[in-house]
């Protein structure tokens, strides 16, 4: 679980059982814009909104599963 303010544009997340993709749009008060992958509607999220970060995948022509956006593993032991 993360605050939406920790995510960057293009990240996908789950909020209230709906999948969203975060855009790079924001307001002066810190709200961030995301689009629902279920309905296509846009929604403004408060910066303190807690979401579950998810990954999106596609299939190539050989049915290999490929991530749309690669995430680097964070090393917290350094």
Residue 17 lies in a domain: yes
Please tell me the total count of domains within the chain: 1
Residue 77 lies in a domain: no
- 42-69 confidence digits (pLDDT tens): 999 999 999 999 988 889 999 998 888 8
Query: How many other CB atoms sit within 10 Å of the CB of residue 20?
Result: 25
Of 39, 67, 26, 65, residue with least CA distance to 15: 39
Domain of 63, CATH number, reads 2.30.30.30
Global confidence as pTM: 0.81
Residue 73 lies in a domain: no
Mean pLDDT of all residues belonging to the chain: 90
What range defines the domain where residue 21 resides? Answer: 2-67
Pairing of strands 12-15, 57-59: unpaired
**Confidence band of 71 (pLDDT split at 50, 70, 90):** low
Residue 23 lies in a domain: yes
Residue 72 lies in a domain: no
């Amino acid at each position: 679980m993360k605050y939406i303010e920790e995510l960057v544009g293009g990240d996908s997340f789950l909020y209230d059982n709906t999948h969203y993709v975060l855009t790079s749009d924001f307001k002066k008060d810190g709200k961030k814009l995301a689009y629902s992958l279920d309905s296509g509607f846009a929604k403004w999220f408060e910066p303190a909104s807690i979401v579950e970060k998810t990954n999106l995948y596609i299939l190539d022509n050989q049915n290999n599963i490929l991530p749309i956006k690669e995430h680097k593993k964070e090393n917290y032991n350094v």
